[in-house]
Amino acid sequence: MLDINNKLQEIKDNNLYREIRYLSKPQDKITVIDGKKVLLMSSNNYLGLCNNNKVKQASIDAINKYGLGSGGSRLTTGSYDLHKELEEKIAKFKNCEGALIFNNGYMANLGVISAICDEEYYIFSDELNHASIIDGCKLSKGKIVIYKHNDVNDLKEKVKANKFKKGIIVTDSVFSMDGDIANIPEIVKIAKEYNLLTLVDDAHATGVIGKLGKGSSEYFNCDIDITVGTLSKAIGSEGGFVCGNKNVIDFLKNRSRSFIFSTALSPVVISGAISSFDIIQNDNSLILKLQNNIEYLCRGLRLIGYEVDSKSPIIPIMIGEEDKALKFSKSLLDEGIYIPAIRYPTVKKGYAILRITVMATHDYEDLDFVINKINEVKNKTM
Ligand SMILES: Cc1ncc(COP(=O)(O)O)c(C=O)c1O
């Protein structure tokens, strides 16, 4: 126990200690966290669908029809007609032959990368990829080669420098902390030239980028072999997915351990996700509103001195030292705005950020309030 106690103390001494905060109201722009009413500026509920009435009704209908738990794993008794309907919907939305639902995006990355990449694979992975990609790579038998963040020249050099039989390039499309977007057209070009597969994680891109919110393949109009995503962000539900051609999906059904060895998602969350896809497929106004809000907030933050130009709802403000980031976040909370300080191990030590996210449900008044308060706190504390 002494070892654990020492490690815990070290975390505290370095301002890296984290505590869970509890919400007692829905995940909306105004919510209640640890008993305090706040304007939420850090949610991944980008389109506000977590608390959408139609989505909630779809889940209520599902619980009445099917009950709560799925009761089995996907290959035994846990797959319902709703799982099939959602997989078909996702495949159509992403213009792919097939899709497969996992229990979350983390398990999708873990299960897909580790199933595909045997010992003959070289995996070329962006240095800022999400932890679930990193862990999927580690769990696979492939040789991992890390390239500099979003640096296609470095990627190409590393691809050229290695001799491999089979290879894959894996990248987030929208990076979860920096909010920037991978240079996917160049990545696809390199992949074609050197006969590599491409795997793109559209967790923060689905329902977000592209006029119809279809994610990176729409945004860049290019072909990606395998797309992973989550239903827990813009889709407002829970679950992960992978899309690709029919054989990729069939193979994963048979070999992906996180798909096979876990109880299927509840019909309740699946039904909610179906309803979310229906909403965004019938009408892209929420997506356009989100994109407009991103532009508005970036413009306002530039006017108070921050060099931000995000095309995604993730707008990081670099603070650096962990204690400064904590203080900044605390001062904003005192003003009624919730933007957590993101610290190691999510970002590098000494590179703490305030990770602002914007939602379609924010209006200009909310965003102006945030810009003014950030300016005030900056002038007081920095
Ligand atoms: C880029 C990225 N991939 C995957 C995940 C995991 O998705 P989930 O929360 O559904 O496990 C996340 C965030 O949670 C993410 O940011």
The yes-or-no answer on residue 176 being catalytic is yes
Mean pLDDT of the 325-346 span:
95
β 166-172/121-126 pair status: parallel
Q: Does residue 183 surpass a pLDDT of 80?
A: yes
Mutate to test the pocket of ligand 1, among 44, 130, 231 (most ligand atoms within 8 A of CB): 130
Cα 103 to ligand 1 centroid, rounded to whole Å = 11
- The domain spans of the chain are 11-40+285-381, 53-282
Q: What percent of the chain is predicted at pLDDT more than 70? A: 100
For 137-170, write each residue's pLDDT tens digit.
999 999 999 999 999 999 999 999 999 999 999 9
Query: What average pLDDT score do residues 342-348 get?
Result: 92
> CA nearest 102: which of 68, 136, 126?
136
* Residue 12 designated active-site: no
Find the residues whose C-beta lies inside 6 A of ligand 1: 104-106, 109, 130, 132, 172, 176, 201, 203-204, 230, 232, 240
Q: What percent of the chain has pLDDT over 90?
A: 97
Q: Assess if CATH 3.10.310.30 describes domain 11-40+285-381.
A: no
Q: Does the pLDDT of residue 380 top 90, yes or no?
A: no
**Residue 382's pLDDT band (boundaries 50, 70, 90)?**
low
Region 128-137: mean pLDDT is: 98
Residue nearest to atom 7 of ligand 1 (CA): 105
Q: What is the DSSP string of 96-131?
A: -SEEEEESSHHHHHHHHHHHH--TTEEEEEETT--H
Specify the pLDDT at position 150. 98
Chain-wide mean pLDDT for the chain?
97
- Decide if 130 is catalytic: no
The model's pLDDT over 99-113, given as tens digits with 9 standing for 90+, comes to 999 999 999 999 999
Q: Which CATH architecture has domain 53-282?
A: 3-Layer(aba) Sandwich (3.40)
In angstroms, rounded to a whole number, what is the distance separating the alpha carbons of residues 23 and 45? 14
